[in-house]
Copies of this chain bind each other. A is one copy, B any other.
Amino acid sequence: MTTEEKFMALLKKMSAYSEALNIMYWDMRTGAPKKGISTRSEAVGTLSSELFKMSVSEEMEGYLKKLGDRMESLDPVMAKTVAVVQEEFDQSKKIPADEYREYVVLSSKSESVWEEAKDKVDFEMFLPYLENMISSTKNLINYWGVKDGNPYNTLLDKYEPGLTTDIIDEVFGQLKETIVPLVKKISEKNNQPDTSFLFAQFPKENQKVFSHEILKQLGFDFEAGRLDETVHPFALGITIRDVRITTRYAENDFRSAIFGTIHECGHALYEQNIDLELEGLPVADGTSMGIHESQSLFYEKFIGHNENFWKYNFDLMKKHSPEQFENVPLDDFLRAINFSKPSLIRLDADELTYALHIMIRYEIEKGLFNGDIEVKDLPQVWGDKYEEYLGIRPENDGEGVLQDVHWSAGLFGYFPSYALGFMYAAQFKAAMLKDIPNFDELCLRGEFHSILDWLTEHVHRFGKLKKPLEILQDATGEGLNAKYLADYLFDKYTKLYNL
């Protein structure tokens, strides 16, 4: 066997371990029996540790060295694969295998405890696990190295390479300049639409059927994926041909399931449309959390909240919950689903105030990792910040600091990518309009394939073959520009509320 072949064989073996771990993860989240969780966590720890050992093995090091020495002679996919694996190797090599294993076991348990703590609205129950997750993560940062004098930068860089607190502070600042005055004007205007029908009973089984119908419209391939139900929705690309999403059904608020499903669908379409040629390689994955989020938000916001999408789908939805929408004209429906008002739950937040939820989490994470905030004070800090930014305060930790899965799973530095993704999405949309000027007309006809084709052509198919800003530059012809999102929000809400 040539070095390339041996290298590929090792990667293939590693991808088998990833598949197993992904399925175990999915299983734990979608209904694994409770008593089996602790053994399962141990098993996940063992396999992760084996996978980690392979990724930092001398065998791997040898292949990377040999192939790295003659990058020019490798075909482009192989060359990029070597580069991506080399980067991960350099990062991983810094963490001792035992500590990584402990970290994985801890995060697996922590996530299960979080789920129970959230159910029971008991922050104290989750507290020691969160403290442990943070100190373990700080420990990892020490191995990775502090970036630009700020340990939190090290975390940001893992999800969106190149991102720092300096950049985020600036971009979030620009957005704030648009959002804060808009939120203020809306509250002064005092012309909120009637939204009562949103909270009328919509049977769960019917929401399920409608969610499946919407997924089919948008191009989700059910032969290469499935939809399930969880407390906290997620999308999981096990392989390109097995991409699973979950949603949360609330009978008294269909928006949770419908928009949640559309959001996760955006993630899933990204994973399902990576070039099949990359299957089994580490480059067969989203290139960054921000780009990933740009796809989910593109679908959730620019399609799922588009008036033409609902001109096509409103009657269909009515069939699934006839009484609820009996006397609701489409215009009232559109104003209701696009209404903006400060709220407590990020996942239910409207698109205007959404970024404020992100900013709060961003500032808390910075504080936790710079030592300005202690975990035990989180409920207090959380409440204070919600009061400051949104003028409201959670009554309990279930609708406060316990609402998100991220910290329980060690995903610190991840939140900013949600807002960044929204900026990318707005920028993609602007570029797409040049190629597909009849975007709204397509939504009106329920024809989403050319939109999906554009995203596949410019974003999905590359996987990790391109870096985030390379994707953005090649697709839109310019670097990151917060203006597109700011303009979109300004125009939309000025019109909706007659500001």
Q: Which residues of A contact B (CB under 8 A)?
A: 12-13, 15-17, 19-21, 23-24, 26-27, 31-36, 39-40, 42-43, 45-47, 221-226, 238-239, 241-244, 279-280
Contacts and interface: CB of A to CB of B under 8 A. Distances in A.
Given A23-B23, A23-B27, A226 B33 contact: yes
Interface of A, secondary structure class, is helix
B31 A226 contact: yes
Contact of A46 (B13, B33, B223): B13
Contact of A43 (B20, B26, B39, B45): B20
Given A17-B46, A35-B223, A36-B238, 19 more contacts: A15-B43, A16-B47, A17-B47, A20-B21, A20-B47, A23-B24, A23-B27, A32-B226, A32-B242, A33-B222, A33-B241, A33-B242, A33-B244, A35-B241, A35-B242, A36-B241, A39-B242, A39-B279, A39-B280
12 contacts: A12-B42, A12-B46, A13-B46, A15-B43, A16-B46, A17-B47, A23-B23, A32-B242, A33-B242, A34-B224, A36-B241, A39-B241
B239 A39 contact: yes
A42 B279 CA distance: 12
A482 to B, nearest CB: 38
A165 to B, nearest CB: 39
Given A39-B242, A46-B12, A47-B20, A33 B280 contact: no
A36 B224 contact: yes
Nearest to A32: B242
A33 B223 contact: yes
B24 A20 contact: yes
Contact of A224 (B35, B242, B244, B280): B35
Copies per complex? 2
Contacts of A224: 33-36
A226 B243 CA distance: 23
Contacts of A36: 224, 238-239, 241-242
Contact of A225 (B15, B17, B33, B225): B33
Highest count of chain B CB atoms <10 Å: which of A31, A225, A241, A280: A241
Given A32-B242, A36-B241, A43 B16 contact: yes
Nearest to A244: B33
A42 B33 CA distance: 27
Nearest to A28: B23
A17 B12 CA distance: 17
Nearest to A14: B46
Nearest to A279: B39
B42 A16 contact: yes
A267 to B, nearest CB: 16
Contacts of A42: 12, 16
Contacts of A222: 33
A153 to B, nearest CB: 35
A241 B32 CA distance: 10
Contacts of A24: 19-20, 23
A89 B383 CA distance: 60
Contacts of A26: 27
Contacts of A242: 32-33, 35-36, 39-40
- In the A-B complex, the 4 residue pairs with the smallest Cβ-Cβ separation, listed nearest first, are A36-B242, A16-B46, A16-B43, A35-B241
Given A12-B46, A46-B13, A19 B39 contact: yes
B40 A19 contact: yes
A280 to B, nearest CB: 7
Contacts of A12: 42, 46
Contacts of A17: 46-47
Contacts of A39: 19, 239, 241-242, 279-280
Contacts of A46: 12-13, 16-17
A451 B4 CA distance: 61
Contacts of A13: 46
A31 B226 CA distance: 8
A202 B33 CA distance: 28
Contacts of A45: 16
Contacts of A34: 223-224
Nearest to A15: B43
Nearest to A242: B36
Contacts of A35: 221, 223-224, 241-242
A241 B42 CA distance: 14
Nearest to A31: B226
A16 B24 CA distance: 11
